[in-house]
Chains A and B, each alone.
Chain A
Amino acid sequence: MRDPYAQYFEEMPCYLSVHDRDFRIIHGNQRFRRDFGEQGDYCYRAYKGRDSVCDGCPVEKTFLEGAPQISEQVLRTRDGQEIPVRVRTTPIRDEAGQIVAVMEMHTDISESKRLQEQLAHSRQRLAQLFEEVPCYLSVQGPDRIIQHANRRFRETFGPAIGEPCYRVFKHRDEQCLVCNAQIVYREGKAFDHEEVVVSADGREINVLVTTAPLRNARGEVEAVIEMAVDITQIRELQSQLTSIGLLVGSISHGIKGLLTGLDGGLYLVNSGFERGDEARLKKGWEMVVRNVERIRSMVLDILYYAKDRELEVVDVDVASLVGELAEVMEKKAVDGGVALSFDVASGVGTLPGDGKALRAMLVNILENSLEACRAEMGKRDLRVTMSVRRLDPWMVIVVEDNGVGMDRETREKLFSLFFSSKGSKGTGLGLFIANKIVAKHGGSITVDSEVGRGSRFVIRLPLEARPSTRPNPELAPLSAAARGS
């Protein structure tokens, strides 16, 4: 009867072989012989077609160390097929305990190798997806520390990993009052919200954020993933549309008021004619002229607002600029019963700026002061004064009136778009544009005012050209006449 163990050895569903100290294969089971040939050959030749022992040979190691070894190898079968295998060796000892041979068992691991590669590939693919998703993606731990962040996130918010989210998103040192990630930890479900975050270079970005829990195998929320989409452009567009809507409403309201003023002027002119009442005729005509002038400046404001033009910077001669203003505003002041005076210090010299824009800005401020006086009914001795001083590094222009003055709310909203305290007359564009022009020149406007006492506007314009107000060498200095056009 056959030795059953020999049969088991023979039938084992793996490669089984026994090697001597010379690396000769002294036994091999059926499967082994099928793929690597008959026994008697050197294992390095049978496995790899080599002429000498392989580096890190597990058989050699087993002989040396006297202990079983496990490793992975790639073997080549007789027909040239390469098979990845897991190798286990065990020493075979004689009665005296000497190692006389080493038994080797090779298990085919091609399938698990293939799965491993597939897994690595999927992982890489996932990492690539995370990395390249065209939105800001980050993972935060319960301690609010950012654990992962994709490329777009890092490009916008800086390295970020290892930093707390509130520092990265808001540049603040304390956590936010409402922490959306903490809500996800608490409630365990995803939700959307919108907020404004700040990029590494200080830009405000409107984002739509989806925050979702990342759970471990036990179902506990281990981290929170945040996906933020930049919607700044959409929001900007929206606010522009809102502005346009407001503008249209404001313009139409302003025009209706001015048309009513024109109607009034026409009524007085016509009835004055009919009755031969010269005083009435004159009053009516003045009303027409005043309202036509208001329509003109309103249209100019609208045009300025509609076209956000670049400054055409030259060296503006301040004294002649003020001279022009005096000419333009004189009539208006006399009509309103306001004493308008100008006080320009000698040698104020020039200022780098856009002559037309500066003129429009000062006209707006002066008109505002004249209106403030006109609105102050019954008061005598109404005045508006404009003074100009050169106080390095600024050209300081002060426009002062003793008109109606402003309460705090009016003062604070003064330069906002479409804010008007003039009731039926204002479009709310004039001072907004004046402020914009001054800001573009790198200057500032401050206001001091009290109800019933009047207002004082202080305009500071830098004497030194800034990047936005560096004189354009292609533009010749404008003459006073050209500026006035």
Chain B
Amino acid sequence: MGLRRILVVDDDPDIREYFAAVLDDHGYEVAGAGDSAAALAELDRFLPDVVIVDVLLPGRSGLDLLVTLRRSPRWSATPLVVVTGVDQLLKDDCQSYLGAHAGVEGPDAVLGKPIHPATLLAVLRAIETRQLAVS
């Protein structure tokens, strides 16, 4: 099963457009959302295979959205990539934030801004490879 449909959740339209262009150029289908509420609505409409979410969003944060998805029966298995410009939230600290939510698995990958197109694509391919190995 390939990962084709990507939902990008970021409040900066430039970044949404950037990711959409890169992913579109490489055969992915992309939808965008500017905040967590819009993302939740888009999930049911677009049925993404992967969700890429920025940590700092207006209103509910990206990590908050992650916890919601991980706990939802429908989306718990959907790969999730967290994007952030905040150093402290990278890697370990992201896990420790999630540690406060017992049983919630962390993101499948964390991307630190700025993000090169190759990095974005490599992360998606790694997730895909991992999924294929599991199945």
Contacts and interface: CB of A to CB of B under 8 A. Distances in A.
A and B bind? yes
A253 interface: yes
Chain A contact residues, majority secondary structure: helix
Given A271-B25, A423-B56, A290 B14 contact: yes
Given A263-B115, A267-B117, A423-B57, A257 B12 contact: yes
Interface string A400-417: 000010000000000000
B18 A268 contact: yes
Contacts of B34: 375, 377
A113 B88 CA distance: 74
Nearest to A336: B13
Nearest to A423: B11
Contacts of A253: 56, 85-87
A176 to B, nearest CB: 35
Interface residues of B, number: 28
A283 B17 contact: yes
Nearest to A253: B85
B116 interface: yes
A404 B13 CA distance: 14
A449 interface: no
A271 B87 CA distance: 30
Contacts of A252: 85, 87
Q: Which of B15, B85, B87 has the most CB of A within 10 A?
A: B85
Interface string A236-264: 00000000000001001111110111111
A256 B12 contact: no
Contacts of A211: none
A90 interface: no
Residue in A249, A374, A425 with the greatest tally of chain B CB atoms within 10 Å: A425
Interface in A402-457: 404, 421-425
A261 B11 CA distance: 12
Of the listed residues B14, B18, B38, B56, the one surrounded by the most CB atoms of chain A closer than 10 A to its CB is: B14
A424 B13 contact: no
Contacts of A257: 12, 15, 85, 113
Contacts, number: 91
Contact of B17 (A249, A264, A424, A425): A264
Contact of A375 (B11, B25, B85, B115): B11
Contact of B114 (A256, A271, A280, A374): A256
B127 interface: no
Contact of B58 (A260, A264, A267, A421): A421
A264 B14 contact: yes
B21 interface: yes
**What class of interface size applies to chain A in its complex with B?**
20 to 34
A462 interface: no
B43 interface: no
A287 interface: yes
Given A253-B86, A287-B18, A374 B13 contact: yes
Interface in B1-53: 10-15, 17-19, 21-22, 25, 34, 38
Contacts of A271: 21, 25
A425 B12 contact: yes
Given A423-B58, A424-B85, A425-B11, A264 B21 contact: yes
A101 B26 CA distance: 133
A164 interface: no
Nearest to B11: A423
B114 A260 contact: yes
A352 interface: no
Contact of A267 (B11, B22, B57, B88): B22
A265 interface: yes
A291 interface: yes
Contact of A260 (B21, B56, B113): B113
A324 B56 CA distance: 34
A424 B12 contact: yes
B115 A260 contact: yes
A404 B88 CA distance: 29
A268 B58 CA distance: 26
B54 A261 contact: no
A249 B86 contact: yes
Nearest to A262: B114
Nearest to B114: A259
Interface string B57-81: 1100000000000000000000000
A4 to B, nearest CB: 101
Contacts of B87: 249, 252-253
Contacts of B113: 256-257, 259-260, 424
In order of increasing CB-CB distance, the 10 nearest A-B pairs are: A264-B18, A256-B85, A259-B114, A256-B113, A423-B11, A261-B14, A253-B85, A423-B56, A260-B114, A260-B113
Interface of B: 10-15, 17-19, 21-22, 25, 34, 38, 54, 56-58, 85-88, 112-117
16 contacts: A249-B88, A252-B87, A260-B85, A260-B114, A263-B114, A263-B115, A264-B21, A265-B14, A267-B18, A267-B22, A267-B117, A291-B14, A375-B58, A377-B38, A424-B10, A424-B12
Given A260-B114, A283-B17, 18 more contacts: A252-B85, A252-B87, A256-B114, A257-B85, A259-B113, A260-B12, A260-B14, A261-B15, A261-B18, A264-B18, A265-B18, A280-B21, A375-B11, A375-B58, A377-B38, A423-B11, A423-B54, A424-B10
